[in-house]
Structure 1
Amino acid sequence: MSATATDTKTLLGIALASGGYACFALQDALVKWLVETYEVPQILFMRSLVIVLITGTLAAHFRHPSILTSKYRGTLVLRAALMLFAWLLFYNSAKVMGLAELTTLYFSAPIMVVFLSILFLKEKVGAGRWLACFGGFAGMVIAANPTHSPNLIPALMCIIAGFFWACSTILIRLVSKTETTLTQMWATSLLFGIACAVTFPWIWKTPDLMGWALMIGLGLIATIGQYLLYEGFRHAPASALAPVEYTGLVWAFIYGYLIWADIPASNVFVGAFIIVASSLVLVAWERRSIRLAEKAAPI
């Protein structure tokens, strides 16, 4: 594949991942709503059930290869376990920690992705991606404005959740080289669902009509978000997509206002501006790479 085609695919991957993170921000808002009434494993089970039904049906219809024959099936199991622990740690720590502390600690994950992509994927990380990544983290700290020291155990849970998510992101990039998006989503969510169902005798609470609607909606949003993100990692290097995760913060502010009429403070707007600017730097860097590649290409 030519350099121009590769860079164009990277831009497409950035666009797909941006849409995925917008869905994930809405997903977090729905979980925040649900976690006040239901336990995290039950919420994750219902989310996983919807994903399994949709992706399993589509994978069978399009005759995608069975994940059981994949050489990466062990990697898929590992990634599913990492993501499950990340979700459980993150949403349970959210019950104790304030949003500012929580998001500041968790959004260390994109920087971890950059380092891990160098170590395990041997990706070359240019100055533009480093600038976008650190700029996004700086904007995150300004927007969150953590003024109190978090409790040690919930803070540690959140940091570990970020690390698990970073590791699973690297594994997505690795597995996406051979496995289809639908089969990855199906396998991961199936393992999620089985693990969460084990807890039902202790935590199950039959949802009311609103609870069912929110949980099914959560599954649909998660399905769309996962598909867009997985496709993004199919087209772009993990280090290029890491800074894009910060755009989820902007969407979180928008959803917070629409759902809870929450108006962010001035520092939040400043941080959001820096995050958006960092993402635009990333896009500009990738476009510059395309232009340079086109100039260098033989006529």
Structure 2
Amino acid sequence: MKVKSSRGIFLSIVAMLCIAGMDATGKLLVQTYPIVQIMAVRFATFFIIVMLIASLKGDLKQVRSNIWGTQVLRSLLLVVEVTVFILAFSMMPLADVHAIATMAPLFAMLMAGWFLGEKVDRRSWIAVAIGFIGALIIIRPGLGILSWYVVIPISGAILWASYQVLSRHVSQFDSSATTVFYTAFIGLIVFGGLAPFNWVDPTFIGWQLLILNGLFGAMGHYLLIKALTYARASTLQPFNYTLLFWAIAIGFFIFGEFPDGFTILGAIIVLSAGIYTSDAGRRMSGLSLIASKKEFNFIRKFSNKIT
């Protein structure tokens, strides 16, 4: 079980790297192309990859779902979540939206406990809380006077958490290939139907960036879905904060954005939260407890001798 959980954690971290790459290419593309067009190409690329893999395996039947209604609902949640955050970015500062979005792991842990019956231990709660504080230090939002606008990104965070919890739920009935197929297919139908009305002819470099954006998105969603087949949704939540690490690294190497001291401090706090809840962290905590007991016994024996 521990090996499987470790594998899920690793896949989750790599998935966050892919999502960071998707966000970076999206940041470049959105300056020229409509968001609907970017999303349509992303899901089209995703769908082609899914069907290609299914064809190479010689088993197109693997896309059949045992709970297709839940699969459609889960995929639509992702589509709505993307739209909600796009709306939030158009109405609020970017930093404010990201600050509120970091609440998603907390929502996911609650939902995993309520709907999946997963036991959320004290260490996981502490880790997510610490990661949340680290995320706030990194982005340092200035929310000012709260308004009803905050309901939008909060809704997006709830939708993202719901999407992950449902992905974990469907993994108990369908293969990861089936889940990935529905994610790509539903997204392609929705955004593909809107793209012709919001289309700008891409240049050669534009097509390269659009396809690369789609590849990053496809790999990110596939690896996240795969990770949820190995580990509980509540276990993976603290590691979703590693997205901030990848964003800092990509921002530095591609956009020349050098992180300041507060950003580095926040990143260290986020990493500490992830280590704290991991199996390695639990082992280190156990060793520390054993060491503390030995030290206490030694001090007690020594004090008895000198008295």
Letter in 2 for 1:93: A
> 1:18: which partner in 2?
13
Residue by residue, what CA displacement relative to the aligned partner does 1:234-272 show, whole Å, maximum 9, x if unpaired?
000000001110010111111111111011222111111
Which whole-Å CA distance do the structure 1 matches of 2:196 and 2:3 have between them?
50
> 2:242: which partner in 1?
247
In structure 1, stretches of 5+ residues that fail to align are 1-5, 293-299
Distance change (3 Å), C-alpha of 1:153 and 1:254? farther
> 1:3: which partner in 2?
none
Equivalent residues in 2 for 1:1-299, closer than 5 Å: 6-62=1-57, 63=59, 65-68=61-64, 70-149=65-144, 152=147, 154-284=149-279, 288=283
Identity over the aligned pairs, expressed in percent? 30
Say which one has the larger Rg. Answer: 2
Deviation at 1:15, TM superposition (A): 0.8
- SS, match of residue 65 in structure 1: helix
In structure 2, stretches of 5+ residues that fail to align are 288-307
Which whole-Å CA distance do the structure 2 matches of 1:194 and 1:58 have between them?
20
- SS, match of residue 151 in structure 2: helix
Which whole-Å CA distance do the structure 2 matches of 1:238 and 1:154 have between them?
28
Residue by residue, what CA displacement relative to the aligned partner does 1:93-147 show, whole Å, maximum 9, x if unpaired?
2344333212111111011000000000000111221111111111011111112
* TM-score, scaled to structure 1: 0.89
Which whole-Å CA distance do the structure 1 matches of 2:226 and 2:149 have between them?
32
Deviates most, 113-122 or 221-230: 221-230
Give yes or no for contact 2:135–2:241 (8 Å, CA) kept in 1: yes
Deviation at 1:150, TM superposition (A): 7.3
Letter in 2 for 1:118: G
Letter in 1 for 2:36: P
Give the superposed CA RMSD: 2.1
Give yes or no for contact 2:127–2:273 (8 Å, CA) kept in 1: yes
Give yes or no for contact 1:132–1:279 (8 Å, CA) kept in 2: yes
Deviates most, 155-164 or 49-58: 155-164
Which whole-Å CA distance do the structure 1 matches of 2:27 and 2:106 have between them?
25
Deviation at 1:286, TM superposition (A): 6.8
Deviation at 1:89, TM superposition (A): 1.7
Which whole-Å CA distance do the structure 2 matches of 1:201 and 1:124 have between them?
46
Distance change (3 Å), C-alpha of 1:154 and 1:190? farther
Deviates most, 91-100 or 109-118: 91-100
Deviation at 1:91, TM superposition (A): 3.0
Give yes or no for contact 1:13–1:236 (8 Å, CA) kept in 2: yes
- SS, match of residue 205 in structure 1: coil
Deviation at 1:278, TM superposition (A): 0.5
> 1:296: which partner in 2?
none
Which whole-Å CA distance do the structure 2 matches of 1:111 and 1:125 have between them?
11
Give yes or no for contact 1:14–1:232 (8 Å, CA) kept in 2: yes
Residue by residue, what CA displacement relative to the aligned partner does 1:128-173 show, whole Å, maximum 9, x if unpaired?
2111111111101111111243774653322211111100101100
Give yes or no for contact 1:83–1:168 (8 Å, CA) kept in 2: yes
Which whole-Å CA distance do the structure 1 matches of 2:230 and 2:164 have between them?
14
Which whole-Å CA distance do the structure 1 matches of 2:143 and 2:134 have between them?
18
- SS, match of residue 179 in structure 1: coil
Give yes or no for contact 2:2–2:279 (8 Å, CA) kept in 1: no
Give yes or no for contact 1:128–1:285 (8 Å, CA) kept in 2: no
- SS, match of residue 252 in structure 2: helix
- SS, match of residue 183 in structure 1: helix
